[in-house]
Amino acid sequence: MKQKADLAVYQEETPRVGPPTDPDVLLDVRNLQTHFHVMDGTVKAVDGVDFSLKRGETLGIVGESGCGKSVTALTIMQLLDMPPGEIVGGEIWFEGRDLLTLAPEQIRKIRGADMAMIFQEPMTSLNPVFTIGDQISEAIILHQHVGKKEAMTRAIASLRAVGINAPERRVKQYPHEMSGGIRQRVMIAMALSCNPQLIIADEPTTALDVTIQAQILELIKKIQADSGAALLLITHDLAVVAETVQNVAVMYAGRVVEAGPVEDVLLRPQHPYTLGLLNSIPALHKRGRKLDVIKGVVPNPFRMPPGCKFEPRCPYAWEVCRRSEPDMMDTPGRKSRSRCFLHAAEGAARRYEFEKAAVATVTAGLPEAQA
The residue among 36 and 310 lying less far from ligand SF4, judged by its C-beta, is: 310
* Pick from 117, 39, 137, 42: nearest CA to 72: 117
Question: Min. distance of Cβ 84 from ligand ADP in angstroms?
Answer: 5
Spatial neighbors of 273 by CB under 8 A, at least 6 apart, are: 250, 252, 257, 258, 294, 310, 313, 314
Question: Min. distance of Cβ 204 from Mg ion in angstroms?
Answer: 11
- Binding ligand ADP (rule: CB under 6 A), the pick from 7, 8, 26, 43 is 43
- Binding ligand ADP (rule: CB under 6 A), the pick from 5, 13, 24, 38 is 38
- Answer yes or no whether residue 36 interacts with ligand ADP by CB under 6 A: yes
Q: Sheet containing 58-62: give its strands across.
A: 115-118, 198-202, 230-235, 58-62, 247-252, 255-261, 337-338, 329-330
The residue among 219 and 358 lying less far from ligand SF4, judged by its C-beta, is: 358
Question: Min. distance of Cβ 59 from ligand SF4 in angstroms?
Answer: 22
Site residues (CB under 6 A) for ligand ADP, limited to 75-114: 81, 84
The distance from CA 101 to its chain's CA centroid, rounded to whole angstroms, is: 23
Segment near other proteins (CB under 8 A); pick from 48-56, 124-132, 155-163, 272-280: 124-132
Q: What is the identity of the amino acid at 226?
A: D
Contact by Cβ (8 Å): 99, 78: yes
| Residue 311: contacted member of ligand SF4, other proteins, ligand ADP, none (CB under 5 to 8 Å, by partner type) | ligand SF4
Q: What is the identity of the amino acid at 149?
A: K
- Report residue 152: phi and psi, to 5°: -65, -40
- Binding ligand SF4 (rule: CB under 6 A), the pick from 156, 314, 328, 369 is 314
- Binding ligand SF4 (rule: CB under 6 A), the pick from 90, 229, 341, 358 is 341
| Residue 207: contacted member of ligand SF4, other proteins, ligand ADP, none (CB under 5 to 8 Å, by partner type) | none
| Residue 138: contacted member of ligand ADP, other proteins, ligand SF4, none (CB under 5 to 8 Å, by partner type) | other proteins
Instruction: Round to the nearest angstrom and report the end-to-end CA distance of the chain.
Output: 34
| Residue 70: contacted member of Mg ion, other proteins, ligand SF4, none (CB under 5 to 8 Å, by partner type) | Mg ion
Give the whole-angstrom CA distance, residue 142 versus residue 327.
44
* Pick from 311, 307, 304: nearest CA to 327: 307
Site residues (CB under 6 A) for ligand ADP, limited to 269-308: 301
Other Cβ atoms closer than 10 A to 283:
14
Site residues (CB under 8 A) for other proteins, limited to 16-35: none
Question: Min. distance of Cβ 174 from other proteins in angstroms?
Answer: 4
- Binding ligand SF4 (rule: CB under 6 A), the pick from 93, 94, 119, 310 is 310
136 burial via Cβ count (<10 Å: 0-12, 13-18, 19+): buried
Question: Min. distance of Cβ 352 from ligand SF4 in angstroms?
Answer: 13
Contact by Cβ (8 Å): 65, 253: no
The residue among 4 and 350 lying less far from ligand SF4, judged by its C-beta, is: 350
349 burial via Cβ count (<10 Å: 0-12, 13-18, 19+): exposed
- Binding ligand SF4 (rule: CB under 6 A), the pick from 49, 198, 233, 340 is 340
String of b and e for 307-332 (b: at least 16 CB within 10 Å)? bbbbbbbbebbeebbeeeebebebbe
* Pick from 336, 329, 338: nearest CA to 258: 338
Site residues (CB under 8 A) for other proteins, limited to 126-145: 126-131, 135, 138-139, 142-143
- The residues of the shown chain that bind ligand ADP, judged by CB under 6 A, are 36, 38, 43, 45, 63, 65-71, 81, 84, 301
Q: Which residues bind other proteins (CB under 8 A)?
A: 77, 79, 108-113, 116-117, 119, 121, 124-131, 135, 138-139, 142-143, 174, 176, 187, 190
Residues that bind ligand SF4 (CB under 6 A): 271-272, 308, 310-311, 314, 316-317, 321, 326, 340-342
